[in-house]
Structure 1
Amino acid sequence: MKTLIYATLAVALATPVVSFAQTAEPVTRAEVRADLVQLESAGYRPVSQDATYPSDIQAAEARVHAGNGASAYGGVSDTGTSVSPVSSPAGNQ
């Protein structure tokens, strides 16, 4: 009887974890095609026989993100001021 209670309790506690496992909806074919068109307009050629595959698609993605105003390093605030890097403590130099 205790085994049944423990099993029921374990299932009840594990259910919320499983229900929130997939929150992002899948990408549609149209979204993938639109992303490919953006990459091709940024200079990426998927049919080229280039041995530098990762670098050329990464460069095209960087150009697409730069054109959209996004940056991997952050941006400037709405006021136009930037944040300076934090200096290291004197003992860690």
Structure 2
Amino acid sequence: MKSWIKAVIAAAVLSAPLVSFAQSSASVSRAEVRGELVQLEKAGYAPVAEDASYPAKLQAAETRVADMRIAQAQAEGYGSSAGAASQSGRASKPVVDPHGVFFGQ
């Protein structure tokens, strides 16, 4: 009996890495990566091998690229307006049972 339990545990442990390496997204081509790098360089990012502020500079360049894409999309007139946000209705109030859960028990 103990050997059967050990075999089940061993099978579960050995099969776990197979599931964890599954990728749900499609792979990116070399040309797409190169195009993204060109856009980042146009936004002011300069890739240097020994740069201590690498993450901050890359994130700033990515933000500038995203801003340029939003501005381009707004200029073309596609998509929804970025400034149009509204809410309607009223705040919901929790329903409180005055008798409690166990009323009548």
What TM-score results when the alignment is normalised by the length of structure 2? Answer: 0.46
What TM-score results when the alignment is normalised by the length of structure 1? Answer: 0.50
